Amino acid sequence: MAVDWDALRASAVAVSARAYAPYSNYHVGAAALADDGRELVGCNVENAAYGVVLCAECGVVSSLHATGGGRLTHFVCVDGRGEVIMPCGRCRQLLFENGGNDLELLTPSGVKRMSDVLPDAFGPDDLTGDR
Ligand code: THU
């Protein structure tokens, strides 16, 4: 079945309103689907110690595991104006761990696969050998 990207984006927009971003004033909302159809959302949560910030993607990944686990299949994140943005580099790594190369992302330039936005990613398979 085709994924309703508009609905997933709307969920990201809705949760962006809950972002705690008093330092950057840059609100981010993220929404994803899991392989059982569950929807996960997250928003960014900043900290007076600026480097301790939790990106919106962290919330999505925590929610994935907290609500039963599984794999991410579809993902989108937006800014406070509702515009689709790219996940930061660190969060691409988080998403790769939990969705792999087949994870589809809605980006400012259309739907892409994880392998397009984090090519040749380092991941769980790399830890199986030399230890
Ligand atoms: N941010 C996210 O939540 N996700 C991203 O992928 C990019 C950046 C947040 C972190 C910080 O609270 C604010 O956006 C500005 O960098």
Q: Is 24 in the pocket of ligand 1 (CB under 6 A)?
A: yes
pLDDT confidence of residue 81: 98
CA 53 to centroid of ligand 1, rounded, Å: 8
Q: What is the DSSP string of the chain?
A: ----HHHHHHHHHHHHTT-B-TTT----EEEEEETTS-EEEEE-B--SSGGGPBPHHHHHHHHHHHTT---EEEEEEE-TTS-EEPPPHHHHHHHHHHH-TT-EEEETTEEEEHHHHSTT---GGGGSS--
Query: Is residue 47 lining ligand 1, measured as CB closer than 6 Å?
Result: no
Residue 55 CA, ligand 1 centroid: distance in Å:
5
Is 87 touching ligand 1 by the criterion CB < 6 Å? yes
Residue nearest to atom 1 of ligand 1 (CA): 55
Measured in angstroms, how far is the CA atom of residue 2 from the centroid of ligand 1? 29
pLDDT tens column, 25-75: 999 999 999 999 999 999 999 999 999 999 999 999 999 999 999 999 999
Q: Is 97 a catalytic residue?
A: no
Q: Mean pLDDT over all residues of the chain? A: 97
Confidence of residue 1 (pLDDT cuts 50, 70, 90): confident
pTM, full prediction: 0.96
| Average pLDDT for 98-102 | 98
pLDDT per residue over 110-130, tens digit each? 999 999 999 999 999 999 876
The mean per-residue pLDDT over the stretch 86-114 comes to 98
